[in-house]
Amino acid sequence: MKDERYRLTENSYSMAKERLQATLFATGNGYMGVRGSFEEYSTLAVQGLYVRGILDEMIEICTPVPSDYYMKKYYYNEDRLKDFEKTECGINLADILTVRVKIGEEWFQMYEGSLLSYERTLDFKTGVLTRRVRWKDNAGDVTDLIFERFASYADEHLCCQRVTVCPIGHDKPISIYSGLDLRAKTNGQKITQPVCESVSGQCARATVRSGPKYGFLCSFSAFSKVQGAYETCENDADEIVAVKYCGRGKAVLEKIVLVGTSRDTQGSFEEWYAQKEGEISLSYSENYARHIAVFAPAFERGNVAIEGDDAVARSVSFSCWQTLISACKADSVHGVGAKGLTGEQYHQYVWWDSEIYQMPYFTYTAPQTAKNLLLYRYRTLAQARENARLAGYRGARYAFCSAITGEECVWSFCNHPFMQDHISADVAFSVLSYDYATGDRAFMEAYGYEIFFACLEYWISRVTRTERGLEIWRVTGTDEHHPFVNNDAYTNYMVQYVAAQGVHLLETRGQEFDFGVLGVDEAFRSGLLSLRDELYLPSDENGMVAQFDGYFDLSRESEQIEYAHGSQMKHKGYDKSQFIKQPDVVMLYTYTNVGMDGKYYARNFDYYEKMCECSSSLSYAPHAIACADNDRLLSFYEYLKQTSQIDLKNLHGGSEDGVHSGCAAGAWYSIFRGLFGCVCKEDEIVLAPKYLPWWKKVSINFFFRGNLINLTICDKILTISKKGQDSVRISVNGKPYWLKRHKLQVGIE
């Protein structure tokens, strides 16, 4: 019997929901993402094949109309909007799923004839999408069709399909077309440029260029074979590159599609691709066996197993599945975007979400993937230095929205993102977190230290000295509703934390690594010490942290306006109001653990929770963690449900354009950091577990210093076990332990 905690099932077909379901039923492996469109045909807005790092230039049609004072004065720059035209975007490359079936004289389409039964299931534990259809054509004859597919986790360049056509009580002639449809569009535009296409034997091949700016070559080879009384015929279908099979009776089509791009090799792409063609297996079963051998343990490591609450278990596992397939484990040509590889919204840019929301999942469950995400930042380090120079500073200023080169790609007509300099603290923070969790000194010495100290150099040059010490002026925090503020709490506390850790690294690792090769001289050290000791950290005598200078002087009231589903603007007058889009101060207590005084935690959370609109999906996970930390377990549970169900229930709208990847990763982190209270420091694991009485059992895995740790809560008992040679120092609710070879069990009060 299938475990429904790990299956997303659709039992009826709705044409109106095709776009949303294409997101939810997407498959992928981190290299490619394939939207859950149908093999026989889908509308352009439903289909999608995206490959990691294949972005190009397109025309973006933007006609926003500022509707209130805040939007007019602070949010949009209408002069820049007049000049805005082109931007980069992840490119929809082709429909590689194309399998069209003709039964007698009638094409199989679910909206034609009659659907006698329908079930589509995505199995998170296998990564396989299966659709079972019993279809009666307009002549009254019945045919069973089964469609199966997965993106291989063993060979990231393969998408594997199997289609079974089984007539029920009729012997009509059947035609099956298997191949490629190159008419995909991005943002409604034909961006790809055809290079060549051909059919040879039972293989349909095509090559396109990604677009006009970068022109990456992208090649597809669809190898097909049919079991049954069928023969290969001349293709007569319009507009697709395909192999045609004709026959009668049951047919089983196996289709293996090879996807490769010129970004996959440093040498000759043609030679590399030809070699890949010669290496692949054309058997669906063989490819599945290889895939599941790699994928199953990866999913188990990256999943949260919950017993006693199937609905939340399913939504959390769905979130873990989506996060796992959002980042590439094999290369570093690009980072992970806000929609993963499931849609075009946000253009597959790499935002601060990557470092703060998505990186923790990979750092602790798939360290090699986390390393690749950081190597992408290293690839763009030279451009980050240039960004800083152009702004009049030293060091590395990372782009708020980064694509191929690391140049700023954020929409030029929006004011607020250009001041979100916290990204250069976020990148430093993620390098540090990876270092502390993995102990990967080889990475740090080759890449990590350079990224980290380049970011610190930026902040040394960015601060302004005043009578209060060092201040950071004119920034936008994580809360985009208040741009151009001074001393944003999130920014200042993050910068002070990474500066303090920078001093620590220089003091403790100076004997083993020559930081002088990175330009860390006495002047740099002096500037770093000043940053650590003199940076202004907003906090009053009652422990309240002002989100920015003057925040508490703003009104707690705001003129509400009608809220349109999916809109981020629920009020007017943000410039005069304390209403915030998403957590800023609360992030410091939850996601980043920068040493905030726990004495005032609840006080700050109580205040800012009421001021937060949660109009960003990134709001729910920090609030879930804050609730767990403060023993508000029912509220934790409600925020966890919103975190994990945001796409399944389309809570914010926009899920039809791709999943909310940062929020999805937050489901795992809410349980890791919130329910288990897990904080990994440089030399120990700190745990503060909570018990949910309506869950029978919850279990999570993570890596720490090469050891695979398992945490399980069952019947008010926390069980800690590990695989690995090294002993691990652990603190549970303040009591120290050494985890050696055996399990450790601790009661939860």
Give the tens place of pLDDT for each residue, 8-64.
Answer: 999 999 999 999 999 999 999 999 999 999 999 878 889 999 999 999 999 988 777
- State whether 407 and 515 are in the same domain: yes
- State whether 240 and 138 are in the same domain: yes
Residue 560 confidence (pLDDT): 57
The answer to whether 26 and 323 have CB atoms below 8 angstroms apart is no
Q: Of 642, 675, 708, which residue sits at a domain end? A: 675
- State whether 402 and 549 are in the same domain: yes
Among residues 88, 450, 480, 656, the one annotated as catalytic is 480
Residue 41 confidence (pLDDT): 82
The answer to whether 134 and 166 have CB atoms below 8 angstroms apart is no
End-to-end CA distance of the chain: 36
Look at residue 627 and tell me if it is in a domain: yes
Look at residue 457 and tell me if it is in a domain: yes
How far apart CA 725 and CA 252 sit, in angstroms, is 48
- State whether 406 and 539 are in the same domain: yes
- State whether 387 and 523 are in the same domain: yes
Residue 123 confidence (pLDDT): 98
Per the rule left: phi > 0, alpha: psi between -120 and 50, beta: everything else, 439 is left
How far apart CA 701 and CA 703 sit, in angstroms, is 7
- State whether 446 and 567 are in the same domain: yes
What Rg do the C-alpha atoms of the chain give, in angstroms? 27
- Looking only at the bridges linking them, the beta strands covering 304-307 and 49-51 are unpaired
* Sign of the CA dihedral running 298, 302, 307, 313: negative
Residues 6+ apart with CB under 8 A from 579: 481, 558, 570, 571, 611, 612, 613
- State whether 670 and 729 are in the same domain: no
How far apart CA 633 and CA 669 sit, in angstroms, is 16
Token code pair at residue 435: 């270092």
Per-residue pLDDT reduced to its tens digit, 510-558: 999 999 999 999 999 999 999 999 999 999 999 999 999 999 999 988 6
Q: Which amino acid is residue 559, in one-letter code?
A: E
Per-residue pLDDT reduced to its tens digit, 136-177: 999 999 999 999 999 999 999 999 999 999 999 999 999 999
Q: Of 633, 649, 675, which residue sits at a domain end? A: 675
Domain extent, residue 241, equals: 4-54+91-265
Look at residue 619 and tell me if it is in a domain: yes
Q: Of 613, 647, 675, which residue sits at a domain end? A: 675
Using CA atoms, how far residue 670 sits from 298, 621, 664, 675, in Å, is 20, 6, 10, 7
- Looking only at the bridges linking them, the beta strands covering 685-687 and 728-732 are parallel
Residue 102 has a CB neighbour count (10 Å cut-off) of 18
Residue 291 confidence (pLDDT): 98
Residue with tokens 């270092």: 435
Token code pair at residue 649: 């229930």
Is 254 a catalytic site residue?
A: no
Look at residue 272 and tell me if it is in a domain: no
Token code pair at residue 472: 């950071």
> Which portions of the chain are predicted below pLDDT 50?
563-566
At 579 the three-state DSSP class reads coil
How far apart CA 87 and CA 101 sit, in angstroms, is 38
Q: Which DSSP string corresponds to 473-526?
A: -SB--S-TTS-SBSS-HHHHHHHHHHHHHHHHHHHHHTTTS-GGGGT--HHHHH
- State whether 258 and 213 are in the same domain: yes
- State whether 160 and 259 are in the same domain: yes
| CATH for 735 | 2.60.420.10
Q: How many domains does the chain have?
A: 3
Q: Nearest Cα to 421, choosing from 371, 381, 455?
A: 455
Token code pair at residue 226: 């049919």
- State whether 643 and 698 are in the same domain: no
Look at residue 285 and tell me if it is in a domain: no
- State whether 118 and 167 are in the same domain: yes
- State whether 588 and 642 are in the same domain: yes
Look at residue 395 and tell me if it is in a domain: yes
Residue 564 confidence (pLDDT): 42
Look at residue 283 and tell me if it is in a domain: no
Look at residue 535 and tell me if it is in a domain: yes
Using CA atoms, how far residue 661 sits from 19, 100, 224, 297, in Å, is 17, 32, 33, 22
